Amino acid sequence: MFASLVRLKCYNTWLNIEIVINTQCPNLQLRNKRLHWAKVLPEFKEKPMADKKDIKTRDTTQEVVFVCDLNPMGGEIHVVGDFNQWQADANLMAKAKDLTYTCKLKLAPGTYEYKFLVNGIWYTDHQADRQVMNCYGTLNSVIDVR
């Protein structure tokens, strides 16, 4: 018996899935310490797509404004999260007239985890909807976009 707990992200939602595999199954083979499914699946036949002109698309993104009131002491503040694959330099925040830092992003509906990166140090947003524990044992801020 082989068991593993897997955390997958599907459409901006994290799923915790426990996978249990009976290693005595004749269709499984152990090669290079990895399980491989030996059964050949039937060929997938794709349905023909409609013409692009027949498909009506609708922009469902929402403009979200992130606001940070931390003082970077001459440095930079970035908003980093699921929406930019946690790339530290992706979204630089601009200084507003009220001495806060803001960044406007268009996000699709969903739940996003994020943090502020201030001069290389991670901070949560104390004004966020909520906080959740991340895989490093620290907190991430969460925003729900409807």
Whether residues 75 and 136 fall in one domain: yes
Distance CA 135, CA 43 (A): 38
- Overall domain count for the chain: 2
What pLDDT shows up at residue 44?
Answer: 45
pLDDT digits (tens, 9 = 90+) for 89-126: 999 999 999 989 999 999 999 999 999 999 999 999 99
Whether residues 71 and 136 fall in one domain: yes
Q: Which residue has the tokens 């960044």?
A: 103
Say which CATH number the domain at 137 has. 2.60.40.10
Between residues 81 and 75, the one the model is more confident about: 81
Whether residues 68 and 110 fall in one domain: yes
Is 122 contained in some domain? yes
Exposed, middle or buried, 7 (CB in 10 Å: 0-12/13-18/19+)? exposed
Q: What is the mean pLDDT of residues 37-60?
A: 54
Domain that holds residue 15: 2-37
Q: Label residue 37 by pLDDT band (50, 70, 90).
A: very low
pLDDT digits (tens, 9 = 90+) for 51-73: 555 555 677 899 999 999 998 88
pLDDT at residue 136 tops 70: yes
pLDDT at residue 128 tops 50: yes
Q: b/e string for 22-54 if b means 16 or more Cβ within 10 A?
A: eeeeeeeeeeeeeeeeeeeeeeeeeeeeeeeee
Distance CA 126, CA 145 (A): 17
Whether residues 78 and 28 fall in one domain: no
